[in-house]
Amino acid sequence: MKKNIVLFVLFVLPIVAYLFFASGVNSFSKLPTITPKIADFGDWKSLKGEKLTLDNKITVLGFAGSKILDNRGNYFNLNEKIYKRYHGFEDLQFVIICPLGTEQEAQKVVDALSPFTDVSGWNFIFASPEEIKTFYDQLHLKGKLDANLGSSYVYIVDKERNLRGRKGENKDKKEEYKEGYDTFHPSELSNDMLDDFKIILYEYRAALKKNHNATKQL
């Protein structure tokens, strides 16, 4: 009996403590705003012919470029690490901006994901090259689109259309500046992006709880 207690204290308890404090980091943090109040989508249509909006949605935003199939592995990474875990949230959407004329390539990506994923939350929308450039420029990011108007990075936009990330201001934690998350690297999605995504979700859950309590008091 004593041996089991000693083993529990030495091995199990430290792991439990680590998981508790690791989750606490997300619970008591706030993800900074990189660019406030970005513009909404234009009169752009999705593969289903629908118009989308950034308003009142947490959005994972990406830029496919004209070489969608060449970069399809990036979408598989995002699908496995983030999408499949969270796409069931009603206020969450995944939106990939593509140049007009790439509809068939985008559909092939969706078709490739569909055998093992509920693809209802994947949204590919289409705009002219000029519209994509204008939209991207107003994000005021350090990164640039490639020659095909694409990027391997995705971005988190909150319900108020603020682009969120890390400003690199916390020197004690050696925090780096991060405006987006590289889908080419699965480890970045499962570590940095997942951590930041949890913070965003916690913020809204806390706000909903606060509003609910205020309503009850009224």
Asked, for residue 1, whether it belongs to a domain, the answer is: no
Asked, for residue 96, whether it belongs to a domain, the answer is: yes
Asked, for residue 183, whether it belongs to a domain, the answer is: yes
Instruction: Look up the pTM and report it.
Output: 0.82
Supply the pLDDT for residue 205.
Answer: 81
Asked, for residue 16, whether it belongs to a domain, the answer is: no
Supply the pLDDT for residue 172.
Answer: 54
Helices (H), 69-217: 72-78, 84-86, 103-113, 129-137, 186-188, 194-217
Q: What are phi and psi of 39, to 5 degrees?
A: -65, 150
Is 141 in a helix, a strand, or coil?
Answer: coil
How far apart, in whole angstroms, are the C-alpha atoms of residue 208 and residue 197?
A: 17
| Residue 105, domain CATH | 3.40.30.10
Supply the pLDDT for residue 90.
Answer: 86
Q: Are 125 and 97 in contact (CB under 8 A)?
A: yes
Nearest Cα to Cα of residue 125 among 105, 94, 96? 96
Asked, for residue 205, whether it belongs to a domain, the answer is: yes
Nearest Cα to Cα of residue 158 among 44, 74, 38? 38
Residue type, 90: E
How far is the CA of 131 from the CAs of 39, 44, 146, 147, 159, in angstroms?
12, 10, 15, 15, 22
Supply the pLDDT for residue 216.
Answer: 37
How far apart, in whole angstroms, are the C-alpha atoms of residue 94 and residue 62?
A: 8
Residues with pLDDT less than 50, the chain: 16-28, 212-218
Give the residue numbers spanning the domain of 116: 26-217
Asked, for residue 46, whether it belongs to a domain, the answer is: yes
Asked, for residue 186, whether it belongs to a domain, the answer is: yes
CB atoms within 10 A of CB 198: 17
How far apart, in whole angstroms, are the C-alpha atoms of residue 106 and residue 214?
A: 45
The C-alpha angle 165, 110, 78, rounded to 5 degrees, equals 30
Say how many domains are in the chain. Answer: 1
Asked, for residue 44, whether it belongs to a domain, the answer is: yes
Q: Give residue-wise pLDDT tens across range 155-212.
A: 999 999 999 999 987 655 567 899 999 999 999 999 999 999 999 999 888 877 765 4
